[in-house]
Amino acid sequence: MKNIRNFCIIAHIDHGKSTLADRLLDATGSVTAREQQAQLLDSMDLERERGITIKSHAIQMKYTHEGEEYILNLIDTPGHVDFSYEVSRSIAACEGALLVVDAAQSIQAQTISNLYLALENDLEIIPVLNKVDLPSANPEEVTDDIVDLLGCAAEEVIPASAKTGLGIIEILTAIIERVPAPKGNPDESLQALIFDSVYNPFRGVETYFRVLNGEISKGQHIKFMATGKTYFADEVGTLNLKQTPKKVIKAGDVGYLITGIKEAKEVKVGDTITDAKSPTTNMIEGFEDVKPMVFAGIYPVDTEDYEELRASMEKLQLNDASLVFVPESSAALGFGFRCGFLGMLHLEIIQERLEREFDMTVITTVPNVSYHAYTNREPDELILVNNPSDLPDPSRLNRMEEPFIKATIITKSDFVGSVMSLCIEKRGVITNQTYLTTERVELSFDMPLAEIVFDFYDRLKTVSKGYASFDYAPIGMRESKLVKVDVLLNGNVVDALSALLHQDNAYDIGKKMCEKLRQLIPRQQFDIPIQAAIGAKIIARETVKALRKDVTAKCYGGDISRKRKLLEKQKKGKKRMRQVGNVEIPQEAFMAVLKLND
C-alpha cells in the first residue's frame, strides 16, 4: 500500500489538464506508440470535437522511482463549472491533486473553486505552472499569484509544458514524494467507495470504485449498502487503457467491478460496497446529493418512444450522476421528463448524448429554475414550482421566492465597466470588488439564478473579449416579484413556452418572444396571432400572415361584385380553417426563446 498514489488533476477550462495527462501516460510508458493520440483519456466524440472534458477518467500507471515501483492512479477531471459535480466525486477518491495553472492566463475563477473543493477534502496540493513555453507566458508573475493563493513557497511550484514535455519527471517525483500513501486497513471487512459507473450493453453496469479498507476478490459475494442488494463479483480489475482483470484488489487501490447488473437504478454513485457475509457497519460519508440549477422538459418527438427514452435516460444517469429527472406530461407535447441540470452546457451535452449514444431525437422545452411559492393558507403553505404550470392561482398566492447565487467574476481591469453593467442589467447587486493585481479584478455579485441560465455566460465572454472567468455558488432563496408569461398561438396557450419572469422584464421578454416566434413559425392558409399574456392581459402580439391564393385571377373585368363574391367566399373558408386549424411548432422555436438577444 505504501507504493500506491491516488491523485487527480484540477484546473480551469483550457489550462492543459488532458494534455498533461497524455504526457504523464507517455512518461510512465502506460501507452504504446500505436495507442498514442492527443486527449487520450477523452474517449467521447463530443469531448474531442469541442476540446473539453465532460467526464472524469480514471487510469492506472506504473512508475519506477529510485529503484522502487509505484502504482499511480490518475483521475483527469473536467474544468467547466457545469461539471463541478464530476470534480467533487474524483476528489473524494484521491489523496492528492495537481493544481494546473496556465502561465499565460494566470489564476481563474474555476481554479479557485476547485482548489477549495480539494482543500475541504484535505488533499495534498501540488501546484503546476503549465504552458511556460508560450511567448505570452508570464511565469514569474503567475508564480507569485499561486504563492499568494496557496501560501506555499515559490520553489514548490513546478514549471512545466505539457506540449513539449518539460517538467513531467519533476511532477512524477513530486507526486511520489509529496502525495501521502492511502490509509486503510487491509485486514478489516471490505469498504469501497463507488465514484463512477458506465453502462456496457454486453456486460451490464461497470462500477468504478476505490477500496478504503479490506480487499475485493473475484467471485466474492458483495453487497451494495444504499440499495441493500447482494451480487457476485464476476470480474474485478484495474483501469489501464484497457481494463485489466485481476484476482484481487487491495486497500488503497482503484479498480472496476462487473456483476452483471442490468438495471441502471441499482447502482448509486457515492454508495459503499461491502462483503455480504461480514459487512462493514459504517457507510462512507461525505457525498453530497447533487443540486440541479436549471430545469427543462425533455420529450420524445414521437410519444410512442416514451419508454425507450426512460431507459436511455437511466443508462445516461449511470454515467452522469448529476442528471436528475422525473416524469411529467404536457398538453402540447405529451409524456416526457422534467430534468434537472447543473447549467446550460450540461443541458446541451445531455441532449447531444441522447441523440448520439441512444439515437433518441428529443424536444427540449424552455429551461427555468426552481421557485418557492407561498399561499395565503395558514400557516404559509410552501409549493415548489419547477414548472410554470405548477404556479398556484394568483388569488391564492401570498409571495414568491427565487434562488440567488453568489457570482465571482475575474476579469481584466479594462472590462470592469462593461461586466458591471451586464450584471446590473441581470438584476445583480455588487457585494465586493478586489484588485488581485493592477491588471486583474475580482468582482462579487448577488444575482438571481434565473438571470444567468440563458445567455449570461456567452454575453460575459463577449463584453470582456473572452477574458472573464465566471464561477457561482447558491446562497439561498429571496423574495421576488414574479409573473407567469403565457404564449398563445391562435388563441391556445402553449404550456411548453410559458415562463416565469420578473415583473420588470416581463413586457420586454414577452415582446421579444412574439417577434422571434413570428420568424420561426411557418405560414399557414390562415392568419396566426402570436400573443404573450400575463393572466388575462395581453402584453404583446405579432401575426404570421396567411398564405393567400389569388382567387380573383380568373375575373377579367366585369362588375366589382363578382370579385367581391369570390373574396367573401375565400374569407369564410379561412375563418372556418382557423377555427379547426392546428399550428405546427418547429423544434427551433422552443430553443429560440433562449437566444432572444441574438
130 annotated as a binding-site residue: yes
431 annotated as a binding-site residue: no
Chain centre distance of CA 418: 27
SS3 114: helix
The DSSP H or E segment spanning 210 is strand 204-213
- Would you call the peptide bond into 379 cis, given omega within 30 degrees of 0 as the criterion? yes
262 annotated as a binding-site residue: no
Separation CA 44–CA 83 (nearest Å): 15
133 annotated as a binding-site residue: yes
551 annotated as a binding-site residue: no
19 annotated as a binding-site residue: yes
138 annotated as a binding-site residue: no
| Angle ∠(396,400,402) on CA atoms, nearest 5 | 155
Separation CA 505–CA 595 (nearest Å): 15
Q: SS3 string of 188-245?
A: CCCEEEEEEEEEECCCEEEEEEEEEECEEECCCEEEECCCCEEEECCEEEEECCCEEE
Query: Which residues does 586 contact at the CB level (< 8 Å), separation at least 6?
Result: 520, 521, 522
111 annotated as a binding-site residue: no
Separation CA 558–CA 386 (nearest Å): 63
> Regarding beta strands 482-489 and 429-435, do their DSSP bridges make them parallel or antiparallel, or are they unpaired?
unpaired
Q: Check if the beta carbon of residue 334 is closer than 8 Å to that of residue 353.
A: no
81 annotated as a binding-site residue: no
Q: Which letter does DSSP use for residue 597 in this model?
A: T
Residues forming a β-bridge with 166? 161
The DSSP H or E segment spanning 504 is helix 503-520
Separation CA 20–CA 35 (nearest Å): 16
* Lookup: cell for 177: 514524494
183 annotated as a binding-site residue: no
Q: Which letter does DSSP use for residue 368 in this model?
A: B
Separation CA 122–CA 117 (nearest Å): 9
Which residues are annotated binding-site positions for GTP? 14-19, 130-133
Which residues are annotated binding-site positions? 14-19, 130-133
